[in-house]
Structure 1
Amino acid sequence: MRADRRTGAGGWVLRGVVVTYVVLLVAWPTGLVFKRAFQDGIDTFFSSLTSPDVQHALALTVTVAGWAVVINLVFGVAISLLLVRYRFPGRRILSVLIDVPLSVSPVVVGLALVLVYNARDGWFGTTLATWGFQVIFSTPGMIMATVFVALPLVVREVTPVLEEIGTDQEQAARSLGAGGFQTFWRITLPGIRWAIVYGLVLAVARSIGEFGAVKIVSGNITGQSQTATLAVEQTYQNFDHQAAYAIAALLAFTAMLCLIVVAILRPKEQH
């Protein structure tokens, strides 16, 4: 009984430390952003988001994040199937490379894209420029940077589910004459649909909040190549704190909404 009491007391202490840590590091600073965003009223909050430059930044963020999520959906599922359903030389190396965006600074990613796709002296950029296609300092480069940093979120959600469901049902479908696409659409996809949803929701949250890589490849030109996260930095540095807090609060709310969706959906599927 004494051992149980000591364990219980230690558990409460640990909970207190963890809750205090999360509050001080996450909840309190985030709460202050929302407080500053709405301190002059909800009308002021919305009026801060109506300037043409802010509207363009928000629209560009939606465009970049939307394309990045669609691309990550297609290639994330394809890479997951490749890693789980096939054995080939270099498979482990590919699996390790998928985790590179989680360990490398986004600024490094942006610089690498500039070196490869810069129209002036990049490996592929000069050729693409002669064809009239500009990657760096334009929307395609921003999409590529966002795709890179968010790719592991889809793959790492789908891969363990594919391993868990196995291949028995897929083999049975093939034995009955189903083709590859039919097997995927009717057997594989229903089994991994919630994993895809979780990965996409997390990818959305990650994509709309990307800063470092996008800043390097975008040029950060107001009203042209500036996303919402870059607009937060510029408006704050220009002492337009109300607009900075309003944009930041909107981004934070969107990201938290995505995480809430994941938290709500997970228990339903698990039961």
Structure 2
Amino acid sequence: MVRVSTPVRWLLRTVAVGYVFLLVAWPVSLVAVQTFEDGFSNFVGIFSDENTVAALQLTLMVALWAVVINLIFGVTISILLVRYEFPGKRALSALIDIPLSVSPVVVGLALLLVYSGRTGWFGPSIESAGWQVIYDSPGMIMATCFVALPLIIREVVPVLTEIGDDQEQAARSLGASGRQTFLRITLPSIKWAVIYGVVLSLARSLGEFGAVKVVSGNVTGRTQTATLIVEAKYQNFEQTTAYSVAFLLAFVSIACLVVVAFLRPQHEI
């Protein structure tokens, strides 16, 4: 370990804190200041607006479905990547990181090209069967799943790699089934990684904008999410409502992170 003098340590800490403050804390705090500039009445008032309430309900529904889907597939893919060897493993691992590098708008456009009812590859067949993906909640859930998928996987994979498979092999040698091994050995070992990944996925899902805007149609009261209503209210000079909804989204995400950070045991960090 490299020893660093006290002045250098304090300089590095100051730079790090200053960077985070200017980039994250200060802008978010300004949203809070604008929200409560005239008291709590403006913030409480957003719950009396039918369109805003509908947008919040839709956002929560889309985010919860996206988190559940990503949880199931995220844990499954993590176990597949760590515990098994197969052709194309590196390619699959690389593909998982695509949502982190591709613009969400591109994701929305790609879904539009595949599932659009008129020109999409599968859209006409799906709509003829009575389903609608684009400009409805299924497309919004798919777009949200896409952008948030890597968050759970990248939390679980390192933990699975670190703990190894010795205990799992011992359980199987004693007659435990695959289901018993997963529930009693694997899942408790990766519990906090899964929880933290779920929280990050939830926060990302609540704040998704670009991909959802492309596939939703942004219809007020029907396919308009909370992030879209922030844009609409701000452009319509209803800044107070826009600030209030933005603060609510930020507060929920930060609160989830804080709660997990306090509940998570120190040895798990």
How big is each residue's C-alpha offset from its partner over 1:66-125, in whole Å with a ceiling of 9 and x where there is no partner? Answer: 000000110000000110111000000000011111111111111110011101111111
After TM superposition, list the pairs within 5 Å mapping 1:1-271 onto structure 2. 7-270=5-268
CA–CA distance in structure 2, aligned partners of residues 251 and 31 of structure 1: 13
State how many pairs are aligned: 268
CA–CA distance in structure 1, aligned partners of residues 137 and 127 of structure 2: 14
CA–CA distance in structure 1, aligned partners of residues 181 and 206 of structure 2: 34
User: TM-score, normalization: structure 1?
Assistant: 0.95
Is the Cα–Cα contact under 8 Å of residues 68 and 146 in structure 1 kept in the other structure? yes
User: TM-score, normalization: structure 2?
Assistant: 0.95
Is the Cα–Cα contact under 8 Å of residues 151 and 203 in structure 1 kept in the other structure? yes
CA–CA distance in structure 1, aligned partners of residues 169 and 11 of structure 2: 52
Is the Cα–Cα contact under 8 Å of residues 64 and 143 in structure 1 kept in the other structure? yes
Q: CA deviation at 1:5?
A: 11
CA–CA distance in structure 2, aligned partners of residues 6 and 196 of structure 1: 35
Q: CA deviation at 1:218?
A: 0.4
- Aligned pair in 2 of structure 1 residues 6, 66: CA closer, same or farther (>3 Å)? closer
Q: CA deviation at 1:6?
A: 8.3
CA–CA distance in structure 1, aligned partners of residues 203 and 23 of structure 2: 19
How big is each residue's C-alpha offset from its partner over 1:209-234, in whole Å with a ceiling of 9 and x where there is no partner? Answer: 00011001100111010000001000
CA–CA distance in structure 2, aligned partners of residues 6 and 141 of structure 1: 52
What amino acid is aligned across from residue 89 of structure 2 in structure 1?
A: R
Aligned with 2:248: secondary structure? helix
CA–CA distance in structure 1, aligned partners of residues 107 and 70 of structure 2: 17
Structure 2 alignment gaps of length 5 or more? none
Structure 1 alignment gaps of length 5 or more? none
CA–CA distance in structure 1, aligned partners of residues 95 and 249 of structure 2: 29
Equivalent pairs: percent with the same residue? 63
How big is each residue's C-alpha offset from its partner over 1:150-193, in whole Å with a ceiling of 9 and x where there is no partner? Answer: 11110011111111111111111111111111111111111111
CA–CA distance in structure 1, aligned partners of residues 246 and 162 of structure 2: 39
CA–CA distance in structure 2, aligned partners of residues 77 and 6 of structure 1: 40
- Aligned pair in 2 of structure 1 residues 111, 5: CA closer, same or farther (>3 Å)? closer
Root mean square deviation of aligned Cα: 1.6
